[in-house]
Structure 1
Amino acid sequence: MAEEKSYSGVQREEIEGAPPAACDAELLELRLAERISVNRYLYQQTQQLERMLLDAKDLQCLLEVLLVSFPRHFSFRAAELWLYDPEDVLAGLIVGGERYGHYLQLQQDAFEIQELYSLEPGIEIIDVTDSRMFEVLKSEHGIDYVLLLPLIESGRLIGSLHLGLQEDSLAFGDAESDLLAHLAMMISRCFAMSVTHQQISLLTMLDPLTQISNLRGFERDIAREIARARRADQPVTVLMIDIDEYEDLHEHYGEVRGHFVLKKVAERISSTLRATDMMARLSRSRMAVLIPGIGESVGSDIAERMRRDIEEFAIDDGRGAVLQVTVSLGRVTWDPKAYPAVDMVQLAKQMEAAGRKALDDAHVKGGNRHVLSRLATLLV
């Protein structure tokens, strides 16, 4: 028989087992009894902001929510967004980011963002005694407190949102901190998804020949800019552009030369535009330029300058031949102060139709000119 082992002299340790599982009724009672006290105003505003974030259709709409709607919604004095962009990916995706000025900053070095936080970034409120106040919202005056929201995706700090307050009016306990941390997580996730969606959308909204937007991209851009013009109460101008006698050029010189001329004309016009302007190829030789914040008078000067520039533009085809073409332009301006409108979708269609009509009129009159077409005085 095997010898029985003895463990005499060794103190036995009692191991406590797991508590018995509660029944469903007990679990329900425990859950119903749990209560969290949180600032009601902050909770309601956060819920509404989450809906705005989820409704943002693209990266531009999301930036509008973060830099315009967010501070207004919570009564902050200002909002500033820093984003980590080491390879200029965001710089290429964000259309019209210059309109936000210093409130939108793309950082190529992550150090600037990381310096705002500890090793484990979290929600913070800093005041004028904190040296970080010299780094964020530097151009703003009258701000005594700044709420710092770190934007983290997949464990990486991808950005930082700064919200300025004139006074310490934000109730900030543990529950509020958790709520704001949840909001920061939502912003980070929506931002990452918007970037991915924007990259995919660009592939479907880009004209492969000229590398400018296509018709689908133009329809998206004009709808967005009209909505923005209405909020800002500023005009927006659309120029429809067509290369005169392009069909004859295409037939005489061939498809390769025709495409080469079209590409060079598009490049030439694009080079004269502001960063906030948008250009698209609508059809074979027809293009459009969307110019936010420009009224009828300045729009006329821009159209004439474009026409004259292309007329004087000598296109070297690289084979010893120099080609010269002219363009016709149709322009239309919507000024919300002069022509109030409610239906933005219908307004976009009216502007496109008016621009095409003006362009057709320019062709009828012999080309190499620009023609104005005005919207009807009654818009719905």
Structure 2
Amino acid sequence: MGNDNRHNGLRQEEIEGAPPVVTGAEFHQQRLTETVTVNRHLYQQTRQLEQLLLQQGELLGLFETLLVSLPRHFGFRVAELWLHDPEDALDEIIVGGERYGSYLQLHRDGFDMQELYPVDPVFQCIDATDSRMFEILKSERGIDQALLLPLMHKTHLFGSLHIGMQENALPTGEEESTLLEHLAAMVSLALVQGIERQQMQHLAMLDPLTRIGNLRSFLHEMIREVSRARREDGPFTVLMLEVDEYDELHESYGEVRGHFVLKKVAERISSRLRATDTLARLSRSRFAVLLPGANESLGEDIAERMRVDIEDFAIDDGHGAVLQVTLSIGLATWEPQQFPAVDMAQLARQMESVSTRALADASAQGGNCTAVSRLATLLV
């Protein structure tokens, strides 16, 4: 039977064998005095890694932290990151990820990733007897154990971080496991935010009509490419392109077909460029192509092949009309040995100005031709 007690004027029934009733003050005091024991080194290293993650503003910086800094930080052998990318959205926005080789993998199919974890993905520590060791870190040798950290966004598994290590390299008691689960949550949050920022930056530099770079992207890439040309002491060429008589085409066929032509021209040019080249749409009917490593002779050859290809390109608008357009192309080349430069931003502006002047010369000649304009003495 229960005992009849009264507390604050209210009748309470105490059940025999039950834990004693704890007041709010007693419960608060218990919480203040409760402690857990966790490996100090792991705790300190985890806190420091969290700080590194919080300091990274760009996605590439997060990759550097996870794939390079993390193994060194904890004394592990290696780290590998899988990300689910079913629509190639990450592949489109990640620039420079190839430097990590197989340690950064984008998976269209999430099945292999799901197979690494139970139905509800949780932190795992596996050893050489586990078959999953044959699926991860395939390029590595001398790994006795691996940590599998599921990367979650809400309830969705969007990635998996794999850490290879030697046997007994890490304490894995209950509290250490909880700490590593917390680390996985921090990595997940940092990556989700980094991906969202990268997507926003990508969209800000994308022309909505043609889905290639816009003017902002062009100026950014120009500075980067002239800086690269200076480091490598190699040539760099800019092509400025204009679709001839586009205003007349737009007036005769309307905005829809005019935009269709621009999209097809952009697709055609892009499909024939080298992997290192960059195409951008600068304005209504003007494009630019950046050709790293191309001297004036090679740049002119590329420009002429491009011009002839577009001249022969029949554009079927899907409504019974076949449209054809031509290009005027202006070319400017910078060779570091001939024109030394220090201010890369100023040089980029001069390259844009000189190639635009060459484009005006090509248009003045009636269009459908390539004109070359050379840099004068550089005051940079």
- Is TM more than 0.5 here? yes
**What is the root-mean-square deviation of aligned Cα atoms in Å?**
4.5
Render the CA deviation track for 1:139-193: whole Å, top value 9, x for unaligned.
234544433221122133221112334x458433445433332221112122223
Gaps of 5+ in 1: 1-10
> Equivalences for 1:148-163 in 2 at 5 Å?
148-163=148-163
- Show the counterpart of 1:38: 40
Please give the secondary structure, in 2, of the residue aligned with 1:323. coil
C-alpha change, 1:141 and 1:289, in structure 2 (3 Å) is farther
C-alpha change, 1:115 and 1:222, in structure 2 (3 Å) is farther
- Show the counterpart of 1:179: 179
Does the CA contact (< 8 Å) of 2:225 and 2:236 recur in 1?
A: no
Q: Return the letter of the residue paired with 1:243.
A: L
Gaps of 5+ in 2: 1-13, 363-368
TM-superposed CA distance for 1:112, in Å, is 0.7
> Equivalences for 1:123-202 in 2 at 5 Å?
123-165=123-165, 167-168=166-167, 170-174=169-173, 175-202=175-202
Counterparts of 2:116 and 2:208, CA distance in 1:
42
Q: Does 1:309 align with 2:306?
A: yes
Equivalent residue pairs, number: 347
Q: Return the letter of the residue paired with 1:250.
A: Y
Counterparts of 2:36 and 2:92, CA distance in 1:
48
TM-superposed CA distance for 1:322, in Å, is 3.2
Render the CA deviation track for 1:19-73: whole Å, top value 9, x for unaligned.
451498x579737x77754206624541442234xx323x455444434554455
Q: Return the letter of the residue paired with 1:18.
A: V
TM-superposed CA distance for 1:202, in Å, is 4.5
Please give the secondary structure, in 1, of the residue aligned with 2:178. helix
**TM-score calculated relative to the size of structure 1:** 0.70
Does the CA contact (< 8 Å) of 1:82 and 1:107 recur in 2?
A: yes
C-alpha change, 1:376 and 1:28, in structure 2 (3 Å) is farther
> Equivalences for 1:129-278 in 2 at 5 Å?
129-165=129-165, 167-168=166-167, 170-174=169-173, 175-219=175-219, 239-244=237-242, 246=243, 249-254=245-250, 256=254, 259=259, 261-273=261-273, 278=278
Counterparts of 1:184 and 1:201, CA distance in 2:
26
TM-superposed CA distance for 1:368, in Å, is 0.9
Sequence identity percentage: 40
Counterparts of 2:297 and 2:74, CA distance in 1:
41
Please give the secondary structure, in 2, of the residue aligned with 1:121. coil
Counterparts of 2:348 and 2:258, CA distance in 1:
26
C-alpha change, 1:364 and 1:114, in structure 2 (3 Å) is closer
Please give the secondary structure, in 2, of the residue aligned with 1:359. helix
Counterparts of 2:52 and 2:234, CA distance in 1:
28
Does the CA contact (< 8 Å) of 2:54 and 2:190 recur in 1?
A: no
C-alpha change, 1:304 and 1:159, in structure 2 (3 Å) is same
Does the CA contact (< 8 Å) of 2:328 and 2:359 recur in 1?
A: no
